[in-house]
Amino acid sequence: MGKNFSDSFLSRECVIRMVSGRFYLSCLLLGSLGSMCILFTIYWMQYWRGGFAWNGSIYMFNWHPVLMVAGMVVFYGGASLVYRLPQSWVGPKLPWKLLHAALHLMAFVLTVVGLVAVFTFHNHGRTANLYSLHSWLGITTVFLFACQWFLGFAVFLLPWASMWLRSLLKPIHVFFGAAILSLSIASVISGINEKLFFSLKNTTRPYHSLPSEAVFANSTGMLVVAFGLLVLYILLASSWKRPEPGILTDRQPLLHDGE
């Protein structure tokens, strides 16, 4: 029995070493892309749109794209990958569950502050709320995110839920995790497009003439897409998923994040 345990431990360590190198290289790329997404959005709002304030003016609106990119895309995407860390494969899962929930909560807080910024700006200028396709898509995404977080907290973090219930809800939790990220990317892309149409419609160089602001903002959108695709790839790559207990080969059925 002792020999079997030793072989099992060594096999697990071997699997972890095999996947760690490529995983952390992907994480380095992911971190660079995520940082660029946030920094590019900040630079766009600061250089072309006049900077930031918290007074109901257009400068208050400028917080909205920054916080939504940071919260709904970058922090959300990073939080989704907690269970892909090779260190999470061994030992108790509770610390990783807490980290997963805390990062998602941070993403949700940033998102709520971003919504406060845009709603306050609209109300201050007597502009209608939630009339565009972008706003419908965005508020739906935030609603699903809230439901997803509370479901995950209640079922997968608190100890009351049975294994049967967790097994039943796990595929739903996993599906909506990836779906919310995809919807977040779609919301950001539509928001960038809408912002450019509104901001450049009465200028000497309108959107269709592709001024430098449009090139920069479009490039920011492409960075967001690249970040989201890489997150989804890491989530779906079978060799980077948490192994089921007792299954230690490098091609195995694997657990999903959030359970």
112: domain CATH number is 1.20.120.1770
Sequence-separated (6 or more) residues with CB below 8 Å from residue 180: 76, 141, 144, 145, 148
For the chain, what is the largest distance between any 2 Cα atoms, rounded to a whole number of angstroms?
Answer: 78
Query: Does some domain include residue 12?
Result: no
Domain count, the chain: 1
Query: Does some domain include residue 168?
Result: yes
Nearest CA to 240 out of 50, 89, 92 is that of 89
- Could you tell me the residue range of the domain that residue 81 belongs to? 22-238
Q: Please, are residues 141 and 72 in contact by the beta-carbon 8 Å criterion?
A: yes
Mean pLDDT in residue range 235-250: 63
Angle between helices 2-47 and 212-236 (to 10 degrees): 170
Query: Does some domain include residue 250?
Result: no
Q: Residue 231: which pLDDT band, with cuts at 50, 70 and 90? A: very high
Query: Does some domain include residue 201?
Result: yes
- Residue with more model confidence, 17 or 68: 68
Percent of the chain with pLDDT over 90: 71
Query: Does some domain include residue 28?
Result: yes
User: Residue 240 corresponds to which tokens in the numbers above?
Assistant: 């980077």
Which pLDDT value is given to residue 241?
75
Which pLDDT value is given to residue 130?
97
pLDDT tens digits, one per residue of 78-130: 999 998 887 877 778 899 999 999 999 999 999 999 999 999 999 999 999 99
Which pLDDT value is given to residue 258?
41
Q: Residue 143: which pLDDT band, with cuts at 50, 70 and 90? A: very high
Global model pTM greater than 0.85: yes
Which pLDDT value is given to residue 243?
67
Q: Which residues of 124-157 are buried (b: 16+ CB within 10 A; e: fewer)?
A: eeeeeeeeeebbebbeebbeebeebbeebeebbe
Which pLDDT value is given to residue 25?
87
- Residue with more model confidence, 27 or 124: 124
DSSP string covering 27-79, please? HHHHHHHHHHHHHHHHHHHHHTS----SSSSHHHHTHHHHHHIIIIIIIHHHH
Q: Residue 5: which pLDDT band, with cuts at 50, 70 and 90? A: very low
Q: Is the pLDDT score of 253 beyond 60?
A: no
Query: Does some domain include residue 247?
Result: no
